[in-house]
Structure 1
Amino acid sequence: MGLFKFKEFHIAQDRCAQKVGTDGVLLGAWTTPHKIPQNILDIGTGTGVISLMLAQRFTASNIEAIEIDTDAFEQATENFENSPWGDRLFCFHSSFQEFYEEVEERFDLIVSNPPFFDSNSLKKESQIEEKRQQARFDDALPFEELVYGVYQLLALDGTFSCIIPKEREERFLEITSHFQLTPVRTVYIKGTANSPVKRCLMEFRFRESVKETNTTPTIEHLTIEIARHDYTDDYINLTKDFYLKM
Structure 2
Amino acid sequence: MKVNTDGILLGAWANIDDDKRILDVGTGSGLIALMLAQRSVVAQASITAIELDDDAVQQAQQNFEHSDWYERLTCLKSDFSLWATPEKFDHIVSNPPYFSHDLQNKDNKRTQARHQITLTFDQLLKRSAELTTEKGKLSLVLPVAEMQELLDIAPTYQWRLTRQCDIKHNGQGKVIRQLVELRKSATSTINTLNSTLVIRQLDGNYSKPYKDLCRDFYLKF
TM-score calculated relative to the size of structure 2 = 0.95
Structure 1's consecutive aligned runs of 4 or more residues displaced over 6 angstroms after TM superposition are none
| Deviation for aligned residue 1:32 | 0.7
- One of 96, 118, 121 as aligned partner of 2:80: 96
Of residues 228-237 and 216-225 in structure 1, the stretch that sits farther from structure 2 once superposed is 228-237
Structure 1 position 40 matched with structure 2 position 19: no
- One of 86, 91, 107 as aligned partner of 1:109: 91
- One of 2, 9, 14 as aligned partner of 1:31: 14
Letter in structure 2 aligned against 1:149: R
Match of 1:142 in 2: 120
Tell me how far apart the structure 1 counterparts of residues 104 and 90 of structure 2 sit (CA, whole Å): 38
Match of 1:65 in 2: 49
For residue 210 of structure 1, give the secondary structure of its aligned residue in structure 2: coil
Structure 1 position 78 matched with structure 2 position 62: yes
| Deviation for aligned residue 1:174 | 1.8
Tell me how far apart the structure 2 counterparts of residues 207 and 56 of structure 1 sit (CA, whole Å): 30
For residue 97 of structure 1, give the secondary structure of its aligned residue in structure 2: coil
- One of 188, 198, 202 as aligned partner of 1:223: 198
| Deviation for aligned residue 1:169 | 2.3
Of residues 90-99 and 43-52 in structure 1, the stretch that sits farther from structure 2 once superposed is 90-99
Match of 1:164 in 2: 142
| Deviation for aligned residue 1:229 | 4.6
Tell me how far apart the structure 2 counterparts of residues 32 and 229 of structure 1 sit (CA, whole Å): 28
For residue 231 of structure 1, give the secondary structure of its aligned residue in structure 2: coil
Q: Deviations over 1:116-157 (max 9, x none)?
A: 212xx13244xx422111110111101110111101001111
Tell me how far apart the structure 1 counterparts of residues 198 and 52 of structure 2 sit (CA, whole Å): 32
Letter in structure 2 aligned against 1:138: Q
The percentage of counterpart residues that share the same residue type is 39
Conserved in 2, the CA contact under 8 Å of 1:167 and 1:198?
Answer: no
- Could you say if the C-alpha distance between residues 123 and 203 of structure 1 is closer, same or farther in structure 2, counting changes exceeding 3 Å? same
Conserved in 1, the CA contact under 8 Å of 2:161 and 2:180?
Answer: yes
Unaligned runs of 5+ in 1: 1-17
Match of 2:207 in 1: 232
For residue 176 of structure 2, give the secondary structure of its aligned residue in structure 1: strand
Conserved in 1, the CA contact under 8 Å of 2:21 and 2:45?
Answer: yes
Q: Deviations over 1:180-215 (max 9, x none)?
A: 11111100111111221111100011112113xxx1
For residue 72 of structure 1, give the secondary structure of its aligned residue in structure 2: helix
Match of 2:173 in 1: 195
Tell me how far apart the structure 2 counterparts of residues 140 and 229 of structure 1 sit (CA, whole Å): 37
Match of 2:159 in 1: 181
Conserved in 1, the CA contact under 8 Å of 2:25 and 2:51?
Answer: yes
Letter in structure 2 aligned against 1:210: S
Conserved in 1, the CA contact under 8 Å of 2:104 and 2:115?
Answer: no
Q: Deviations over 1:146-181 (max 9, x none)?
A: 111101001111211010110122221122111111
